[in-house]
Amino acid sequence: MSAVGLDSDRLASCLATAVPGFSGPITLERISGGQSNPTFFVTSPSHRLVLRKQPDGDLLPSAHAIDREFKVISALTTTGVPVPPTLFYEADRAVIGTPFYVMQRLDGRVFHDCTLPGLTPPERGAAYRSMAETLAKLHSVVPDAVGLSDFGRRGGYFERQIRRWSQQWQTQRTREDAHIEHLIGWLPANIPADDAHGIVHGDYRLGNLMLHAEDPQVIAILDWELSTLGHPLADLAHCCMAWESAPDEYGGIEGLDLDALGIPPRDVFEAAYYAHASHGLRLAPFHRAFALFRWSLIFEGIAARARAGTANDANAGQTGRLAAVFAKKAAAYA
């Protein structure tokens, strides 16, 4: 058993069978981030790989469906959407205790700070343009054309999402919040008439992208665990929340001197997306309110877990307090 709790001998044997030219021994390193589905670097004399697995323990039937992650990433490899090359999916729990899949490891940079420290202003602008264009490229993929017609339900995406998050509020609320109560009524009544659908990432933001090691260009979209068929503007509104939140509100860029940093204003970023998207739709106050509402409920869940003592994040209590902040921002759009 390795230091990270995986049977390295069984895994090495599996890799030798599944990956052409693979040779051991292997070393394993747990990667920070991707907390829902544990992720590891796997290094051997012949290969540098990434492994993502289900968490240990009892899981809900539809939770941590890493087979879906593997399916969507594999389907996108021929589309021009930048994704890590997948190698194989292993359903046999006997290897390391849970199903898992393996990808090639890419050399690049992941920034969790939206100000992109270390880059020049022109590089920051180029990185944000690449982020917008990459999202538009994803949303231009026709699901049926890449074997993803059954990757999610068609239509009614916002209705289902609002219902889900409203139920989440009822089951895990830690406080009263008039803004959330108002949004629970306002959002279903103001869903735009269009019912566009496509492949959505579900958590498209800077921290889930890998940039080239030297150039400010996106070379991979990471962490596909929330991906499904849905409305493309949900992804765009979610990504644009960086402009809706201050640096002390989950690392946003609101209030910063964007011109000095080289980061485009929100409308310029959105225009870069629209220029490359094929659907012709535009963000409305509804989409912005929905994205902020969703994040408010995510933060409320963190607060609930902190209260119960089951949160993984040591700062979960502080993060949970952002639920009220984001609910107020969402209500302003409503």
* Residue 314 confidence (pLDDT): 59
Three-class secondary structure of residue 5 per DSSP: coil
Task: Record the tokens describing residue 204, joined without a space.
Answer: 């498209």
* Residue 251 confidence (pLDDT): 85
Non-local (6+) Cβ contacts of 228 within 8 A are 151, 152, 200, 202
Q: Which domains does the chain have, with CATH numbers?
A: 8-105 (3.30.200.20), 109-333 (3.90.1200.10)
* Residue 54 confidence (pLDDT): 86
Helix residue spans in the chain (DSSP H): 8-18, 66-76, 121-139, 157-172, 178-189, 232-239, 258-261, 266-276, 285-308, 316-320, 322-333
172 backbone dihedrals φ, ψ, rounded to 5°? -130, 15
Asked if 203 and 241 touch (Cβ cutoff 8 Å), the reply is no
* Residue 172 confidence (pLDDT): 87
Q: Name the CA radius of gyration of the chain, rounded.
A: 20
Of 267, 276, 279, 170, nearest in space to 234 by CA: 279
Three-class secondary structure of residue 123 per DSSP: helix
* Residue 31 confidence (pLDDT): 87
Walk along the chain (334 residues) in steps of 10 and give the mean pLDDT of each run. Answer: 80 96 94 73 97 74 78 96 97 93 97 96 98 98 96 93 95 91 98 92 96 98 95 97 92 96 98 96 97 93 78 63 93 96
